[in-house]
Amino acid sequence: MEAQVIVNELETSAGQLNAESIDEIIRKVKTHDRIFVYGTGRSGLMLKAFAMRLMQIGLNAYVVGETTTPSVQKGDLLVVASASGETGSVCMTAQSALKQGTDLVVISSNPDSTLGRIQAPDIVIEAATKFSTSEASVQPLGSLFEQMLLVVFDTIILKMSREQQGANDDMARRHASLE
């Protein structure tokens, strides 16, 4: 069944994650007062989910492009993701953020990409992209990459929440109440 194929791919990909890389991203998140996220398409949706959880854990998190998002400042953190590393708006946003003194977290499948040349990826997820196929996945386009983004981001939140007494209750109190 296709669902089991997807789960198997996720298990293989998750087994390739580097715990030190996850911990380094957590360190970056914890040492910045404001965290911004940016991506497009399904990667952008996973980044929005991450921003939501960061807010629920009590951090100041913003999605670039939303009308209420403030301007970045020196010392802020921007998290970007692009499977191909060639998404023009992601590359331009990362470049602009660096020029403004913003620190950067990069997640990509292609360390040799334009994005990878702006900054070496903090995490490389082996997966297909809209431009290439991969032996790591039979799923279309960047599905494995996008699924793994959610796994990476939820791993970060889980590790951070385990460090805070009562984190789940605090997160529940910050959960949207106008639904």
Active site residues: 146
- Of the candidates 34, 23, 41, which has an alpha carbon nearest to the alpha carbon of residue 152? 23
Q: Is the dihedral of CA 101, 106, 111, 113 positive or negative?
A: negative
d(CA 21, CA 124): 10
- Proportion of the chain in helix, strand, coil states, percent, rounded to 5: 50, 15, 40
H helix runs in 119-178, sequence order: 143-162, 167-174
Residue 37 region by backbone torsions, left for phi larger than 0, else alpha for psi between -120 and 50, else beta: beta
Cβ-Cβ contacts under 8 Å for 131 (sequence gap 6 or more): 84, 86
- Of the candidates 132, 155, 154, 143, which has an alpha carbon nearest to the alpha carbon of residue 41? 143
Within 10 angstroms of residue 127's Cβ, the number of other Cβ atoms is: 26
